[in-house]
Every structure is written in structure tokens, then in C-alpha cells.
Structure 1
Amino acid sequence: MVESPRRAAVRAPTLIRLLARLADVDVAPSAPPLSDRLSQWIEWTQSLALSSALDGAALVPGFGAPTPVAAEERECARVRQVLAAAIAGDRAFAATASAKAPARSAAAREDADDFPFFRQRYLALQQTLEAGAGRLRERLRERLTSASPELAKLAEMDAVMERALARRERSLLAAAPALLGRRFERLRHDAQAAAGDAAPAPDDWLAPFRRDMHDALLAELDVRLQPSQGLLAALRARAPD
């Protein structure tokens, strides 16, 4: 028996794999080296700033002191918990109808049955994630700056890279709502086709879409927190035994 061809396995971050699956699109199994992509994303003025950061960092009083990281570990965990709770508690994930929300208005139900509502909520949550992850990253850089010359240099490099890649990051993450929109329309179309002349029950197809959207936001949260996890790892390496 001849097996149908399978897609090549996608080796990519969770967010990319999830969005590729939801949008039913192929992702290139290989990609240009990271150094090649960075050369295209970083402007020459930002390259100069990065070069300056690599050349050295100014000495800061207190270098060489032990670097306990328990407080920073707790803060990283707290920020992730708060942002994950903001996602889960958003009104985009409220029950659609009936038993769980009997008093919900018809207008509210209509809003939640159209993708612009979910797109607006996704964009709002993206802003929340960006702000929360950015504050945590800045806090960790401040800790690195006073830990050692090497870590101060790392903090400066991270600040330069954040500024250099911010526009590219926003552009790439802005594609997520559009891909989710494809998933939304496909689920609604399939539900309408299955229902025939009858109107499909929104809960039947909105529930899986909400799960997909929730998973995409959690995956995006992990992506946004990766730089902070790297800075925290650097602090751990400096911490006393």
C-alpha cells in the first residue's frame, strides 16, 4: 500500500509550529543561518552600538560581589504567572452562550462570533505581554550591570539587541492574528457545512478556536520571556554555590 506523502517535520519554536498547524501552512524545514538573518535585520547604526557594547563596559562600583538570584527567580516566575493569568482571564475566553453565561446579551454574542473581536483581544494581550516581559528584562539587566564587567557587557549587548530587533519582532508577531483568522474562518465554515440549513451552535466551533488562541498566546509569552531566561541563567552562573 502506498502511503500518502507527509509534510517534512518542522523544527521550530512552539509558537511557529502551532501557528503553522492552525493555518495549515508549510514551514521551510531549513532556514538561513541566524547570523545571515541578523545581518539583514540590524541597521548599520545599530551595528555600531553593538560594536561599542562588545568593546567594553564601564566599571560599576560593587563588581565582584556575590550575586544571589533567588529574588530574580521568584520575580521571573511571578511575571509569567501574572501574564498567563491575564491571558486566561481575558474576555476573549469567556463562555459563549447560555448555561455558563445566561445573561449575556445578543450583541455580545454577535461580537464574539466575528473574528474582529478576537483580533482586537489578541492585539490587546500582545501589548500586555510586551510590556510585562520588557519590564522584567530591564530589571534583570540592572542586576547584571552591577554583578561583574562581563555581565555588565552582556546587559549592554542585550539592550542594544532589544532595540535593534524590536521592530522586526513586532512585525513577525503581528502575523499571528492573521493566521488565527484563517483558523477561525475554517472552523466556522466547517461548522456551517456540517449544520446544513440549520444554524451551527457557536460553542461547537468557538470552543476549539478559543483553545487554539489561548495556546498561541502562551507560546508567544514563552518567546517573549526567552531573553529574560537567558539573563537569569547568566546571573545563576555568577551566583555563589
Structure 2
Amino acid sequence: MDYSPRPALQGPTFVRLLARLTDAEAARAALVPADRLSEWIDWTRAVALSKVLDARPAAADTPATPSAHDPTAACARVRATLAQAIASAPELATPQSVTPSDHADPGDTASDAAPDFAPLRQRCLTLQRAMQAATGRLRGELREALAQRSAQAARLAEVDAVMEGALAPRESALLGAVPMLLEAHFERLRAAAADSQATAHGPWLDGFRRDMQGVLSAELDVRFQPVEALLAALRAP
């Protein structure tokens, strides 16, 4: 087996983690949106974006009454909830060492069965859907709040809405590749464990669980980047 070091991959933590677990060039090609942004905005979206950018700012409205709702705290709560869901996913928990008990069946070999990626895939998809739904809702709420601030803030909200509509299909397709990349990593680790006659449930599986948690946590960071940008705009004077 070739253990020669791979060239360092520059980019977000999310991309670098996937590159470390899989093929660096495949991860680069599939999961670096900025490198292919110009290919993803078709002419209809480009026209819509141009109209928003070129429109004359509307006359300033009377400043809205400050809301008691704290968007920063609300976003932090949502993010903490999603992070906890990743950290506490039962499929990703590292089993504690157990000792034989009197009621254990000596013939029960279920715990020695080869692990299956199917429940891990389902958990990954469930967490990704939760992240997508939560960040989409937050972006909508923050755009509404921006629209009440000023004409310039309202224009920024429109730009974000157009960009979300333009990039959402591509983002969904690219992030949809994550379970497949994780499955390939899982199968390589399982095959290596079989070659070394390691147990079905051993250090390799615990390591995979940690890797999967790390990838999902990094994906959470990526999905929250637009949310953080809108929050920054709201905090601006």
C-alpha cells in the first residue's frame, strides 16, 4: 500500500476533511463551490441578480420599532441544537466496553456481525435534512428582519434571496455526495480490518464514527456561513 503523503489541499475545513478521508482531487472537484460559481448561475438567475444590484435604492422608510426577538440568540440556539444532534446520534456513539453477564446467551453472535453502513447513511441524511431545513428557515427570517432596517439592507436581503435560489440546487447536489464519500471511507476501513483479521467492531469503526461526526460538524459550519453573514449585516450600524 502506498503511504506517500498527499499534497496539502487548501480550502474550508469541510473540504479538507473529506479530502483526507477520500480522494483529494475528487473532493476538490465535487465540493469546492467557489471554484465553479460562474458555471452555476444561469442567465435567468444572472439577470435577476443584476436587476437587484442595479435597482435604485428606495426611499428610506421610518425605522422599524426594535423587536424583542434576538436573532443572534435564536440562531445560536438552533446551531447548538443541531450540533448536539450530531454529537448524540446513537449510530455514532462509541460503545462502552461490556463484560459477559449471567443472562447473556453464549451462542448470541449478533454483536460480532459485520457492521452495516445503512443505518449510518440514514442518520447522515436525517442530520443533513435537519441542517438544510433549519438554515433555510433562519435565512428567511433574517432577510425579513433586514428588509425592515433600511433600503440598503432590504437590497442585501434581496441579493441573498436570489443567490440562495440560484445556488440551492447545486448545493443540494454537492452535499448529497457526502453520504457516498463516507460510505467509501467506511468500506475501505472495513476491508483493511478484514485483511488484518481485526474484529468486526473494533478501533476502525470507532474511528469512522469520529470521522463522520467531524464531517457533519464541518458541514454545519458551511451551512451556517450565509446565516452568519446575514447576522453580521443586521448588527452593522
Which TM-score applies when normalising by structure 1?
0.81
Moved more, 199-208 or 116-125: 199-208
Structure 1 residue 68 displacement after superposition: 8.1
- 1:55 alignment counterpart: 54
The alpha-carbon distance between structure 1 residues 42 and 67, as it changes in their structure 2 partners (threshold 3 A), is: farther
Q: Give runs of aligned pairs for residues 49-128 of structure 1, distance below 5 A.
A: 49-56=48-55, 58=58, 61-63=61-63, 71-96=70-95, 99=98, 113-128=115-130
Matching residue's letter, 1:45 = T
Give a deviation string over 1:176-219, Cα, whole Å, max 9, x none.
11111121011111211222xxx614132211101000010000
Match for 1:182 among 181, 184, 197? 184
- 1:12 alignment counterpart: 11
**Alpha-carbon separation, structure 2, partners of 1:178 and 1:94:** 21
Identity of aligned residues (%): 49
Give a deviation string over 1:133-181, Cα, whole Å, max 9, x none.
1111111111111111111000011011001101100111111111111
**Alpha-carbon separation, structure 2, partners of 1:7 and 1:51:** 41
- SS of 2:24 mapped into structure 1: coil
Structure 2: gaps (5+ residues): none
CA contact (8 A) 1:60 1:146 kept: no
Structure 1: gaps (5+ residues): none
**Alpha-carbon separation, structure 1, partners of 2:44 and 2:188:** 44
Structure 1 residue 224 displacement after superposition: 0.4
Give a deviation string over 1:108-133, Cα, whole Å, max 9, x none.
985x8111221121111110110011
**Alpha-carbon separation, structure 2, partners of 1:28 and 1:60:** 44
**Alpha-carbon separation, structure 1, partners of 2:190 and 2:46:** 47
| Greater than 6 Å deviation, 4+ residue runs | 66-70, 105-109
- 2:159 alignment counterpart: 157
The alpha-carbon distance between structure 1 residues 165 and 33, as it changes in their structure 2 partners (threshold 3 A), is: closer
- 2:225 alignment counterpart: 226
Q: Give runs of aligned pairs for residues 25-44 of structure 1, distance below 5 A.
A: 25-26=24-25, 34=34, 37-44=36-43
CA contact (8 A) 1:60 1:145 kept: no
The alpha-carbon distance between structure 1 residues 146 and 204, as it changes in their structure 2 partners (threshold 3 A), is: same
- SS of 1:202 mapped into structure 2: coil
**Alpha-carbon separation, structure 2, partners of 1:84 and 1:217:** 9
Matching residue's letter, 1:149 = A
- 1:134 alignment counterpart: 136
Moved more, 149-158 or 17-26: 17-26
**Alpha-carbon separation, structure 2, partners of 1:141 and 1:10:** 34
Structure 1 residue 52 displacement after superposition: 2.1
Structure 1 residue 55 displacement after superposition: 2.7
- 2:210 alignment counterpart: 211
The alpha-carbon distance between structure 1 residues 49 and 131, as it changes in their structure 2 partners (threshold 3 A), is: same
**Alpha-carbon separation, structure 1, partners of 2:73 and 2:28:** 38
Matching residue's letter, 1:213 = M
Give a deviation string over 1:66-91, Cα, whole Å, max 9, x none.
87898121112111101111112223
Matching residue's letter, 1:166 = A
Alignment coverage as a number of residue pairs = 226
- 1:191 alignment counterpart: 193
**Alpha-carbon separation, structure 2, partners of 1:99 and 1:78:** 35
CA contact (8 A) 1:53 1:157 kept: yes
The alpha-carbon distance between structure 1 residues 115 and 229, as it changes in their structure 2 partners (threshold 3 A), is: same
Structure 1 residue 16 displacement after superposition: 0.4
Structure 1 residue 46 displacement after superposition: 1.4
Matching residue's letter, 2:62 = G
Matching residue's letter, 1:62 = T
CA contact (8 A) 1:69 1:236 kept: no
**Alpha-carbon separation, structure 2, partners of 1:33 and 1:203:** 36
